């Protein structure tokens, strides 16, 4: 089966993890500190704070910004629940703006229309591995004195003319979950240039204790610490990130060359100067073909190709948000696009022959 994702774990990761296992020090320690140094240096931020998931990184970012009851956070409904659940956990209100069909990311015009006097933060999502429309969203944030928390969970290594994902907001969240471009099973990192944000995040991940002040509980926090075992794996993965991303980009180019000429398919368009790292390679099925999506998924599955639908339903139509009064029609673009997208394997474990076979199989079905 050609799967939608495949972790690329080599001997270096295994050796380093085993070394930690034999060292007697398994919890957060020197390996975590080293990962943080390497991660900040890779992204080009002053600070990186490692936690145990991308969700925890988003939560820590919101906490560090001081988001709480009465605050509104604007974000996209076209994402994974982890982009928004920390907003609710902090007692703030989720405000969904619509997305743009050209890049699947937040539509700046819709964001602008949803700003109120209670808005505190915008969470733009670097969906599928491309950077959101940073200049337009940053202008809205500046005008209204808002903070930006970039959800870069899918976008490690993506950049715009050398400026990397993770540097586009006041803080950014990364995930090291097993399906992401690099992984340590579960893990997350918050990046920022702001010392106060980094310090608050460090305190939050460790039960509200400031760094170096054990048993001084300044605030309620969580156990969001990463282990040295995970950090050891992540350090070795980070050394490979550019290599695995180049392979994804090469696979994506081949897919676009083969699929891009078919009228019924919309392939990803990447603007000049942007590096999209293709955490997902997502196409849209146009017109009547969208109604045959389930058939395509089954057709490919029968040919040994597993594809993903990210995401089949916009977040605001999930039961948890229906109960809060969100309705169909709130974000029409996201609602339509959720019925059109298909993500197809693009990971570095595929050969060029696999990629051609995947594209040919899709073209066969589409006709």
Ligand X SMILES: *Cc1c(COP(=O)(O)O)cnc(C)c1O
Sites of contact with ligand X (CB under 6 A): 53-55, 79-80, 82-83, 125, 151, 153-154, 175, 177, 188
Please tell me the distance from the alpha carbon of residue 242 to that of residue 182, in angstroms, as a whole number. Answer: 10
Please tell me the distance from the alpha carbon of residue 218 to that of residue 194, in angstroms, as a whole number. Answer: 20
Helix/strand/coil for 336: helix
Comparing CB distances to ligand X, the nearer of 79 and 119 is 79
Please tell me the distance from the alpha carbon of residue 64 to that of residue 171, in angstroms, as a whole number. Answer: 9
Please tell me the distance from the alpha carbon of residue 54 to that of residue 149, in angstroms, as a whole number. Answer: 12
Comparing CB distances to ligand X, the nearer of 165 and 289 is 165
Q: Phi, psi at residue 113, to the nearest 5°? A: -70, -20
Comparing CB distances to ligand X, the nearer of 345 and 362 is 345
Q: Phi, psi at residue 341, to the nearest 5°? A: -85, 145
Comparing CB distances to ligand X, the nearer of 166 and 188 is 188
CB of 260 to ligand X, least distance (A): 25
CB of 151 to ligand X, least distance (A): 5
CB of 56 to ligand X, least distance (A): 7
Return the DSSP state at 316: G
CB of 257 to ligand X, least distance (A): 27
CB of 149 to ligand X, least distance (A): 11
Comparing CB distances to ligand X, the nearer of 152 and 317 is 152
Neighbours of 322 (CB within 10 A): 12
E-state strands within the chain: 47-51, 72-75, 93-96, 119-123, 147-151, 159-160, 163-164, 171-175, 188-192, 265-266, 274-275, 281-285, 341-344
Q: How many C-alpha atoms does 104 have within 13 Å on its Cβ side? A: 30
CB of 205 to ligand X, least distance (A): 13
CB of 325 to ligand X, least distance (A): 24
CB of 298 to ligand X, least distance (A): 25
* 64, two tokens: 């560090």
Comparing CB distances to ligand X, the nearer of 49 and 362 is 49
Comparing CB distances to ligand X, the nearer of 42 and 80 is 80
CB of 153 to ligand X, least distance (A): 3
Query: Closest CB to ligand X belongs to which residue?
Result: 54
Axis crossing angle, helix 352-366 with helix 293-302, rounded to the nearest 10: 140
Helix/strand/coil for 283: strand
Pairing of strands 163-164, 72-75: unpaired
Comparing CB distances to ligand X, the nearer of 107 and 151 is 151
* 317, two tokens: 């139509």
CB of 351 to ligand X, least distance (A): 26
Comparing CB distances to ligand X, the nearer of 226 and 289 is 226
Comparing CB distances to ligand X, the nearer of 226 and 362 is 226
In sequence order, what are the residues at sequence separation of 6 or more whose Cβ sits closer than 8 angstroms to the Cβ of residue 146? Answer: 115, 119, 120, 121, 122, 140
Q: Are 39 and 51 in contact (CB under 8 A)?
A: no
């Amino acid at each position: 089966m050609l799967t939608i994702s495949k972790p690329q774990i080599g001997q270096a990761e295994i050796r380093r993890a085993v070394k930690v296992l034999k060292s007697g020090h398994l919890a957060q320690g020197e390996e975590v500190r080293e990962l943080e140094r390497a991660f900040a240096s890779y992204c080009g931020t002053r600070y990186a704070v490692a936690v145990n998931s991308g969700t925890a990184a988003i939560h820590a970012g919101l906490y560090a910004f001081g988001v709480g009851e009465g605050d509104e956070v604007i974000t996209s409904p076209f994402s994974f629940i982890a982009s928004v659940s920390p907003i609710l956990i902090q007692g703030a209100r989720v405000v969904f703006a619509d997305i743009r069909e050209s890049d699947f990311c937040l539509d700046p015009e819709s964001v602008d229309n949803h700003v109120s006097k209670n808005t505190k933060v915008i969470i733009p999502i670097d969906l599928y591995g491309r950077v959101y429309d940073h200049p337009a969203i940053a202008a809205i944030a500046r005008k209204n004195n808002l903070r930006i928390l970039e959800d870069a969970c899918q976008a490690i290594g993506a950049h715009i003319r050398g400026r990397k994902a993770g540097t586009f907001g006041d803080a950014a969240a990364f995930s090291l979950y097993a399906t992401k471009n690099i992984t340590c099973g579960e893990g997350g990192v918050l990046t920022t240039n702001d010392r106060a944000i980094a310090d608050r995040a460090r305190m939050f991940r460790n039960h509200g204790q400031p760094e170096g002040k054990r048993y001084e509980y300044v605030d309620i926090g969580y156990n969001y610490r990463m282990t040295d075992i995970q950090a050891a794996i992540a350090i070795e993965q980070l050394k490979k990130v550019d290599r695995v991303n180049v392979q994804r980009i090469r696979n994506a180019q081949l897919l676009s060359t083969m699929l891009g000429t078919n009228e019924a398919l919309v392939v990803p368009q990447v603007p000049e100067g942007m590096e999209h790292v293709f955490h997902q390679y997502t196409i849209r099925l146009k017109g009547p073909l969208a109604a045959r999506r389930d058939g395509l998924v089954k057709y490919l599955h029968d040919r040994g190709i597993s594809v993903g639908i990210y995401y089949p339903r916009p977040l605001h139509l999930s039961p948890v948000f229906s109960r809060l009064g969100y309705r169909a029609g709130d974000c029409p673009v996201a609602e339509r696009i959720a019925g059109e997208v298909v993500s197809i394997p693009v990971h570095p474990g595929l050969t060029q022959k696999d990629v051609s076979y995947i594209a040919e199989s899709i073209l066969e079905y589409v006709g």
